[in-house]
Amino acid sequence: MTMQLLLGQTLGFSGNPLTGDWADAVQFDSTGGVLIDGGQIIDVGNGPALQAAHPQAQVTDYGDALISAGFVDAHMHYPQTGMIASWGKQLIDWLNTYTFPEESRFGDKAYADDVAGSTLDLALAHGTTTLTSFCTIHPESVDAFFEAAAARNMAVIAGKTCMDRNAPDTLIDTAQTAYDDSKALLEKWHGQGRAQYAITPRFSPTSTPDQLAALGALWAEHPDCLMQTHLSEQHPEIAWVKELFPDARDYLDTYEAFGLLGERGLYGHAIHLDPREIARLAEVGAAVVHCPTSNTFIGSGLFDVMGLAKSAVSIGLATDTGGGSSFSMLRTMAAAYEIGQLRGVALHPAQLMWLATEGSADALKMSGQIGHLGVGAMADITVLDLQSTDAIAQRSARAEGIWDALFPTIMMGDDRAVRDVWIAGTRQV
């Protein structure tokens, strides 16, 4: 494989800009370079110096475009691609009206194959190189997603969504079939190529205590897997959980009681958390995932990025397609900024970019492997055109420094801003 050298403005991170001075965590070079060999990044530094040291490398010169680690979407539902931006409703009604009827179609492997391929292609077009997805109860839906990702050599995390109550008959399994199917799929896919399996109870209201216990037992048998679910998205949902689990201390306890709280736990939304829940998440090293376009679209609430960061809770960022209203992590960063403003915090562009790359990789326990523009990481890279539209270009032309130039792309950018995407050192055409 030919050594590749990408030239342009480069942006990486050496630390977490949410927990200290953001400027101390940033690694930016206006004349940077990224050297790739064997699918991995082997050096990042001054572009002309790298070119002089490696004259045999094949050069791709992006000029003043910004070279970043590929975006990492830490929570989404690929089966909801076809129903994204469906009008109206809040969470429970939205699930019953739109989500469950669509997910019922995924026992058809051909249909699942088609949607999986479309989802991954849409992600790549928007600069997202890793997806963490819920599938449906159908094993076919899991196979379809992992097969589509393998064909594109993408690093992905996914699992069979398990539900044995409070859902249509077409989407109901049992505690035993949830365990058996998840175990078989885990053994088939986890660690194969760039695939990782996530044990996936949808959320407490759609799983009986027996099913939660079965999945907790499976996780105990395979602690190297992630476990993904939902937590404290809306107030009516939290009230429903209290009715279903009257002995639980809080929503998080409905998972902890059944072995579903741990360091490799991934909890989507986590908007309305009690102090005990925050303390326990931090104590065990679990991660929460901010889904800002979904939280506004479905009317869920305002996630507390800085409060959770100060409490030492790991935070990822996600589109939550199709509750989320965009496939774009740029739009997701913009929504995170807007929600921060409503909470009295103006997140810096460096903090937003970190959440979409390093932060999500850390939440997935994949730091240094993906979402990282540094030596040893896989060369999953997104190149951003900072003048992609006339509206952005006229603002960027007035910019004073990289952050002033980048911020309009975060706030107004879409797939047109994605100039190039590389997966494991291969340029996507």
- What domains sit in the chain, N to C, each tagged with a CATH number? 4-70+371-427 (2.30.40.10), 71-327 (3.20.20.140)
| Strand 40-46, strand 287-290: pairing | unpaired
Query: How many angstroms separate the CA atoms of 359 and 366, rounded?
Result: 10
Instruction: Identify the sign of the CA torsion 27, 331, 299, 135.
Output: negative
pLDDT at 415: 97
Q: What are phi and psi of 281, to 5 degrees?
A: -60, -45
Q: Model-level pTM?
A: 0.97
Relative to beta strand 265-269, strand 226-231 is parallel
> Positive or negative, the Cα torsion across 29, 35, 36, 40?
negative
What is the per-residue pLDDT for 87? Answer: 87
Rounded Cα–Cα distance for residues 222 and 216 (Å): 10
Q: Which residue, among 294, 303, 299, 300, has the nearest Cα to 322 in the 3D structure?
A: 294
Strand partners, 267: 229, 288
According to DSSP, residue 131 is labeled: E
pLDDT for 90 equals: 78
Long-range contacts of 101-106 (CB under 8 A, 24+ apart): 101/168, 103/79, 103/136, 103/137, 103/161, 103/171, 104/136, 104/168, 104/170, 104/171, 106/79, 106/135, 106/136, 106/138, 106/140, 106/141, 106/144
Q: What is the pLDDT of residue 88?
A: 78
Q: 3-state DSSP call for residue 405?
A: helix
Print pLDDT tens along the chain (429 aa). Answer: 689 999 999 999 999 999 999 999 999 999 999 999 999 999 999 999 999 999 999 999 999 999 999 999 999 999 999 989 888 777 788 888 889 999 999 999 999 999 999 999 999 999 999 999 999 999 999 999 999 999 999 999 999 999 999 999 999 999 999 999 999 999 999 999 999 999 999 999 999 999 999 999 999 999 999 999 999 999 999 999 999 999 999 999 999 999 999 999 999 999 999 999 999 999 999 999 999 999 999 899 999 999 999 999 999 999 999 888 999 999 999 999 999 999 999 999 999 999 999 999 999 999 999 999 999 999 999 999 999 999 999 999 999 999 999 999 999 999 999 999 999 999 997
Strand partners, 132: 157
Q: What is the rounded CA–CA span in Å between residue 245 and residue 250?
A: 9
How many C-beta neighbours within 10 Å does residue 282 have?
Answer: 15
For residues 234 and 239, give the distance between their C-alpha atoms in angstroms, rounded to a whole number: 9
